[in-house]
Amino acid sequence: MKKTNAGTKINNSYIKNLHPEYITDAHGNKKSVILSIEDFEELLEDIKDLEIVAERINEPTVSHEKIITELKRNDIL
């Protein structure tokens, strides 16, 4: 199995906040990770959010001013 640097692209402070525990082989190579249920569920939520962003990547943007105008027109602001 070829190792990649993909993990280094993730913000290291984000990973440290997860408090991962690693299962290693006899040579000390990381093979698996253990996370708390809370951290795991947060990661799943983040993945879901990223999926939504990816689906909407080509949608046109709306200016802040236009949103404010629409909110005021609908008596939300």
Summarised one tens digit per residue, pLDDT across range 62-72 is 999 999 999 99
> DSSP states of 21-34 as a string?
EEEE-TT--EEEEE
Contacts of residue 61, defined as CB under 8 A and 6 or more positions apart, other chains included, come to none
Mean pLDDT, range 14-29, rounded to an integer: 88
**Whether this model's pTM surpasses 0.75:** no
27 — phi, psi (to 5°)?
-95, 5
